[in-house]
Structure 1
Amino acid sequence: MSSDKKADFSGVSANVETTEQKVEKADFSGVTARVDSTEELVGEQTYTIAKGDTLSKIAKDHYGSANAWTRIFEANRDVIDDPDKIFPGQVIKLPSRDSSA
């Protein structure tokens, strides 16, 4: 036998609670989001008629052509009886730009 002493590890202890990596939680407190329009999702918008509006003017502003007034009229037959008689405060539907209402 050798007279060399062997290392004595009898007093060593260890404790491992987890092997999962400690990761800082993501901080989303500065994240914001904004939706300007849901037109592409719902396909239709509403418009409140202002003083001086005509269906042709609204069509020109929203579709680029005054001739598109018929699309607005057809989509609003339930609230507009005469396309020449619309009133400030009246809320109408504007069909999506790509619909053929």
Structure 2
Amino acid sequence: MSSTDKKADFSGVTGTVTSTEQVVEKADFSGVTSTVTSTEEIVGEQQYTVQSGDNLSKIAKNLLGDGNAWKRIFDANRDVLDDPDKIRPGQTLKIPARQG
């Protein structure tokens, strides 16, 4: 380069960078609390699938601790049972909460 070549003059150039990111206020969750309540604790009802060899007295003894509670299981399942002596393997029965 010779001394007669002019160099580009950038002394008056300024630059600005702007972002397209929007500034959004963040949600304040500091006062939020949560509670989980299990319906099983409140209702105490569970379900049982009838196995081969089961009868309502056996199910009542195993799940409710009293074979005589079979009538409570029968009453809770009147929508699917017509006769307490006619339960079938594979049926799902509602078992009421233990009384205690």
Normalised by the length of structure 2, the TM-score is: 0.58
User: Aligned AA for 1:39?
Assistant: E
Aligned to 2:65: 64
Unaligned runs of 5+ in 2: 1-37
SS at match of 2:89: coil
Moved over 4 A (4+): none
1:19-34 aligned within 5 A:
none
> Contact 1:72 / 1:95 at 8 angstroms: preserved in 2?
yes
Query: Which residue number in structure 2 is paired with residue 79 of structure 1?
Result: 80
Percent sequence identity over aligned pairs? 67
Partner-residue secondary structure (3-state), 1:80: coil
Structure whose alpha-carbon radius of gyration is higher: 2
Residues 39 and 96 of structure 1 are in contact (CA less than 8 Å); yes or no, is this contact kept in structure 2?
no
Q: TM-score when scaled to structure 1?
A: 0.57
CA RMSD, Structure 1 to Structure 2 (Å): 1.9
